[in-house]
């Protein structure tokens, strides 16, 4: 059974990656999970400098999901390289660094610094965080912004460049196309959906930031639809995510068009989820007599009438 997949030039042992912001910097889980057994780890989003993030409350549970407005709290790229990367290397983790900026120059600077750091496997460009005002999503919501960030980063690194798209747009496939045109090796989607919750007794917003990003099983069918739309629009690999909580959910994304998947919110429910994801995927391939997981990508079975209906 071959679980390996190819994301640009990067070969992953399996398609299951920990999603950014939901697995710390990876090292925090080293005593609970064999980090090398994951396809990869997308670490918490990094700016050039340290950030405090928003004040609490920053997380609210919602039906089948959660709402967060962490505000991209983080230790900054230099401390990450000095304090976290050596241990990730020792653990033989495949490290995808999620980078965030308020300007294109900041993304470029981060890409330069990380390209010189041993043990970084790929860069995921967070152009989609819905709960900070400056930068990020400002790029990810426009075709020209997406193109500009991706092509600027592309010029300064040989690492695989994976822009992470926001679902908070009307036509995600056109943003995917802009990323591909600018030289992205792959795209990842979705980041969280802009959302809000109010305590009716106090009439106060439940998050200090008023609005935040919705994740978890509640968003899964929308994310699957977006992966499907992007698969038809671009040739580069797609890393799909949004509410994956078991192997079946991961397989659904792959059949819709993802080459690999990320698992975020489910880590907060069950940090030991990883072995059941790998075993469940293996079991499915065995039952369906599919020797390579990569052969599943984009294999949703449509009749010619359904195809016509979808493209009309």
Ligand X SMILES: Cc1cc2nc3c(=O)[nH]c(=O)nc-3n(C[C@H](O)[C@H](O)[C@H](O)COP(=O)(O)O)c2cc1C
Examine residue 265 and tell whether it contacts ligand X (CB under 6 A). Answer: yes
Q: Quick one: which of 258, 263, 273, 293 contacts ligand X (CB under 6 A)?
A: 263
Using left for φ > 0, alpha for ψ between -120 and 50, and beta otherwise, residue 79 falls in: alpha
Nearest residue to ligand X, by Cβ distance, number only: 21
Q: Quick one: which of 21, 167, 212, 237 contacts ligand X (CB under 6 A)?
A: 21
* Residues designated catalytic: 129
Q: Give whichever of 19 and 187 is closer to ligand X, judged by the CB atom.
A: 19
- Among the candidate windows 105-113, 141-149, 179-187, 237-245, which touches ligand X by CB under 6 A? 237-245
- Among the candidate windows 27-35, 66-74, 139-147, 294-302, which touches ligand X by CB under 6 A? 66-74
> Is 225:26 a contact under the CB 8 Å cutoff?
no
Examine residue 44 and tell whether it contacts ligand X (CB under 6 A). Answer: yes
Examine residue 195 and tell whether it contacts ligand X (CB under 6 A). Answer: no
Give the Å distances, CA to CA, from 169 to 139, 140, 164, 174: 12, 9, 13, 10
**Shortest spacing between CB 112 and ligand X, in angstroms:** 20
Q: Quick one: which of 68, 166, 209, 281 contacts ligand X (CB under 6 A)?
A: 68
Examine residue 18 and tell whether it contacts ligand X (CB under 6 A). Answer: no
Q: Give whichever of 73 and 290 is closer to ligand X, judged by the CB atom.
A: 73
Phi, psi of 99 (to 5 degrees): -115, 145
Q: Quick one: which of 84, 164, 177, 206 contacts ligand X (CB under 6 A)?
A: 164
Count of chain residues binding ligand X (CB under 6 A): 26
Q: Give whichever of 268 and 290 is closer to ligand X, judged by the CB atom.
A: 268
**Shortest spacing between CB 58 and ligand X, in angstroms:** 8
**Shortest spacing between CB 62 and ligand X, in angstroms:** 11
Strand bridging mode 211-215 / 5-7: unpaired
Examine residue 110 and tell whether it contacts ligand X (CB under 6 A). Answer: no
Examine residue 165 and tell whether it contacts ligand X (CB under 6 A). Answer: no
Q: Which residues bind ligand X (CB under 6 A)?
A: 19-22, 44-45, 68, 70, 72, 98, 126, 129, 164, 191-192, 215-216, 219, 241-244, 263-266
């Amino acid at each position: 059974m071959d679980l390996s997949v190819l994301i640009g030039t990067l070969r992953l042992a399996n398609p299951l990656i920990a999603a950014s912001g939901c697995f710390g910097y990876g090292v925090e889980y080293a005593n609970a999970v064999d980090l090398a057994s994951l396809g990869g780890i997308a670490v918490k989003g990094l700016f050039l400098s340290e950030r405090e993030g928003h004040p609490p409350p920053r997380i609210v549970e919602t039906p089948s999901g959660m709402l967060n407005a962490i505000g991209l709290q983080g230790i900054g790229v230099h401390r990450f390289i000095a304090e976290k990367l050596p241990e990730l290397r020792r653990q033989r983790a495949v490290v995808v660094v999620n980078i965030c900026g308020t300007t294109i120059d900041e993304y470029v600077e981060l890409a330069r610094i990380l390209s010189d750091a041993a043990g970084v496997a790929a860069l995921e460009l967070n152009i989609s965080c819905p709960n900070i005002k400056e930068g990020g999503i400002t790029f990810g919501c426009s075709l020209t912004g997406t193109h500009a960030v991706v092509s600027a980063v592309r010029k300064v690194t040989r690492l695989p460049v994976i822009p992470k798209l926001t679902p908070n747009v009307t036509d995600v496939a056109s943003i995917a196309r802009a990323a591909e045109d600018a030289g992205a090796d792959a795209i990842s989607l979705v980041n969280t959906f802009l959302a809000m919750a109010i305590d009716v007794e106090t009439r106060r917003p439940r998050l200090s930031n008023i609005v935040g990003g919705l994740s978890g099983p509640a968003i899964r069918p929308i994310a699957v639809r977006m992966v499907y739309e992007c698969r038809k629009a671009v040739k580069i690999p797609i890393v799909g995510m949004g509410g994956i909580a078991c192997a079946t959910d991961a397989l659904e994304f792959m059949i819709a068009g993802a080459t690999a998947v990320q698992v975020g919110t489910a880590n907060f429910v069950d940090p030991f989820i990883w072995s059941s994801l790998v075993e469940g995927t293996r079991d499915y391939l065995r039952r369906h007599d599919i020797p390579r997981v990569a052969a599943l990508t984009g294999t949703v079975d449509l009749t010619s009438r359904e195809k016509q209906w979808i493209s009309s």
